[in-house]
Amino acid sequence: MEPSRAADARPLGVLVRIFPKLSETFILEEILGLERQGLQLRLYALAPPTDTVVHPAVARVQAPLRTAPPLRPASLGAYARDHLRAFADGPGRYLASFAEALRRGRRGLADFARAGWLSARLREDGVGHLHSHFISTPADVAQLAARLASLPFSISAHAKDIYLSQAYDLRRRLQAAAFTVTCTQANRATLSAVAPQAQIHRLYHGVDHQVFHPARRVLVDAVPLIVSVGRLRAKKGLDVLIDACARLRDQSREFACEIVGYGPEHDRLQAQIEDLGLEGQVRLVGALSREQVIERYARAAVYVQPARIAADGDRDGIPNVLLEAMAMGLPVVATRVSGIPELVDEEVNGVLVEPDDAPALAAAIEGLLRQPARGVAMACRARATVVDGFDNDRNLRLLCELLEQARQRAPGPLATREAPAWSLK
């Protein structure tokens, strides 16, 4: 694929909830990957960032970012001007979009307000196609904005946005989109069951395996270090890891454990650590920069991903941090949840256990600590798995192809306008 370099080519719009967001590095990596492919991007966010730590790679993003103003009285004048413009540009489209939003209730009206703002920005920026991350509120806003601006749109579906949405909402979004991509085969099967006629493709996330590289490993700690990285949420299963650590301690296994991340489960997990008397061995280290996370990978003896399906149905797809650890040449222990078995092959490139099974998790970790040569062999194959199947640039070529196909299918004048920046030669 050779991306178009036409100076006046129409850019791709990318809509996200928040940008940048430390826990959504997969979106950042996709943006950087698309820019490496030669695409011109315009970024739009529905809310401003809230993280105190910013991923350093954000500075490499070339695309300008525009963030929707809050839905408050002070912003109503600006929203009104955008909606008047949208109505003037296409009264029929505007009224049809408003009627659809009205059927969704109060949430639909809030989406419609933001869609008016977004459609104005899409026109100003000359966007040729809108791609939305998450098949939840961003997809609803994207659908309405794309209709107002007379553009095709597509969706990236991930995890919580799939499993916490109602089936009829998923069906509506899938059928409206030109196509949908999702990050695991398990997700694709779920979505295809909801909307069999929709165009749904598996698109694995990828990592930069030159950045996450075994050469950065420095096993200098006398005490083996267990590492886990992720948002402190119920679906991450970190309470099970803490229970497993108590079992390792009771077996007189020497170790340290660091859990990297932030989130609503922090206080409960800290109380669990204290109740089990693990303060000297298990630490919640909070949010860290990418370099600090890599430093943990570099010192670790084992990486653990104890994911589960939460009570509300929320679950991971394939966590990017698991890809990162495997690319770093780390032995990994993970659970048989969602798309994780698509990445981790039992006793080939890692160890799999059932979720919510602290004894099995402890035994798997202990086995790798006791048999380091076994772990090294699996870690080498883990690195090869990531390089061969989860290369970001290689996987994103599918997204570029789908965008080109959507452009060619677009009705009316869209199909005959100047080719957008993702056009394939």
Other Cβ atoms less than 10 A from the Cβ of 252: the count is: 6
Token pair for residue 270? Answer: 């800290």
Same domain for 266 and 342: yes
**Looking at the 3D structure of the chain, how many domains does it have?**
2
In a domain, 316, yes or no: yes
Tens of pLDDT, residue by residue over 96-108, are 999 999 999 999 9
Residue 129: its H or E element: strand 129-133
Whether residues 385 and 408 fall in one domain: no
In the sheet with 129-133, reading across from the earlier edge strand, the strands are 65-67, 41-47, 12-18, 129-133, 153-157, 180-182, 200-202
pLDDT band at 417 (very low <50, low <70, confident <90, very high): very low
pLDDT digits (tens, 9 = 90+) for 351-384: 999 999 999 999 999 999 999 999 999 999 999 9
CATH of the domain at 129: 3.40.50.2000
Identify whether residues 19 and 46 lie together within a single domain. yes
pLDDT in tens, 232-242: 999 999 999 99
Looking at the fold, whether 196 and 62 belong to one and the same domain comes out as yes
**Domain shared by 69 and 169, yes or no:** yes
* Residue 2 counted as domain residue: no
Domain with 90, as residue range(s), is 12-206+391-416
- Position 4: which residue type? S
3-12, 79-88, 120-129, 408-417: the lowest-pLDDT one: 408-417
Computed over every residue of the chain, the mean pLDDT equals 93
| 169 class by beta-carbon count within 10 Å (0-12 exposed, 13-18 middle, 19+ buried) | middle
What is the predicted pLDDT for the residue at 89? 95
Asked if 348 and 359 sit in the same domain, the reply is yes
Please say whether the beta carbons of 117 and 81 come within 8 A. no
243 lies in the same domain as 287: yes
Q: Residue 201: how many CB atoms within 10 A of its CB?
A: 14
Whether residue 348 is found in the same domain as residue 403: no
The residue among 82, 91, 140, 131 whose CA lies nearest residue 111 is: 140
pTM value? Answer: 0.91
- Give me the pLDDT at residue 218, please: 82
Task: Tell whether the model's pLDDT for residue 420 goes beyond 70.
Answer: no
Same domain (yes/no): 138, 238? no
In a domain, 3, yes or no: no
Residues 295-319: tens digit of each pLDDT: 999 999 999 999 999 999 999 999 9
pLDDT for residue 221: 67
Residue 228 pairs with which residues in a beta bridge? 259
* Beta sheet of 302-305, edge-to-edge order: 282-286, 256-260, 225-229, 302-305, 332-335, 351-353
Model pLDDT for residues 30-71, shown as the tens digit of each residue? 999 999 999 999 999 999 999 888 888 999 999 999 999 999
Q: Is residue 127 part of a domain?
A: yes
Q: 316 and 186: one domain?
A: no
Residue 312 burial class via C-beta count within 10 angstroms: exposed 0-12, middle 13-18, buried 19 and up: exposed
Residues 189 and 221 placed together within one structural domain of the fold:
no
